[in-house]
Amino acid sequence: MLHDIEVTVNAQAYTMTIEPHRSLLWALRNQLGLVGAKEGCDDSECGACMVLVDGQLVNSCSYLAVQVAGRDVTTIEGLAQLPDMHPIQQAFLAEGGVQCGFCTPGMIMAAKALLDRNPDPDDEAIRRGLAGNLCRCTGYQKIIRAVKVAAQTRQKG
């Protein structure tokens, strides 16, 4: 059984025809070709699939695609204003907060959700904000520093 939904993704309107059991992650990657959000564990443990729905951080692998009907989704592809990267992306690059890169889209979306709520987080708040994101290259120190730098850049800007 297929279901039609209308959704806004990265400020662009889409109509999707989708089976109700499909996850938002599956729909983004396979129907819209937005492959920035990653399937790591497919179990909502690792955070590589994180996106924002109506500004709220969610694991898109355990969020039903049909439930985003009429809502506003932001993925990692929606952050950059080309040719410029988003300040959080710039900070991850500058601070070496990226190793293999697989966890990065989720880390950056979690960082965005955190900084939108708390523009000046301390280390503890950053750790809590990224608590649902795993990096298997063990790069947490640099990731935390990158979020700090992004916060400082934002406050200056």
Partner 1 sequence: MTVHRYFAPESEAELASLIGRHDDVVLVAGGTDRVVSTRRGQKPLAGTLISLDRVSGLRGLSVGDDGSLVVGALTTHADIEASPTVVDSWTALADGSALIGSPATRNTGTVAGNIMNASPAMDLGSPLLVHGAEVELRSSGGRRQVPFGELVVGPGKTTAQASEYAAAVHVPAPAPGTGSAYVRLQYRRAMEIAVVGAAALIVLDDGIVSEARVALTAVGPTCLDVREATDVLVGQALSADRLDAAAAAAEDVARPISDARADAEYRQALVGTIARRAITFAAERARGRAVPVPASEVKPITNGGGA
Give me the residues that bind partner 1 (CB under 8 A), please. 1, 3, 19-21, 23, 42-45, 47, 50, 56-59, 61-64, 66-67, 69, 110, 113-114, 128-129, 131-133
* DSSP-derived pairing of the beta strands 12-18 and 50-53: unpaired
Q: How far is the CB of 113 from partner 1 (least distance, A)?
A: 7
- CB 51, min distance to partner 1, A: 9
Least gap, CB of 106 to partner 1 (angstroms): 9
Question: 128 or 136, CB closer to partner 1?
Answer: 128
* Residue closer to partner 1 (CB basis): 20 or 96: 20
The least CB distance from residue 134 to partner 1, in Å, is: 8
Handedness of CA 91, 95, 96, 97 (dihedral sign): negative
Q: Mention every residue, 6+ apart, whose C-beta is less than 8 A from residue 86.
A: 79, 80, 108, 112
Nearer to partner 1, 2 or 13 (CB): 2
Q: What are the distances in angstroms from CA 71 to CA 12, 14, 47? A: 11, 11, 21
> Do you find a cis peptide bond into 83, omega within 30 degrees of 0?
yes
Bridging pattern class, strands 72-74 and 50-53 = antiparallel
Nearer to partner 1, 21 or 136 (CB): 21
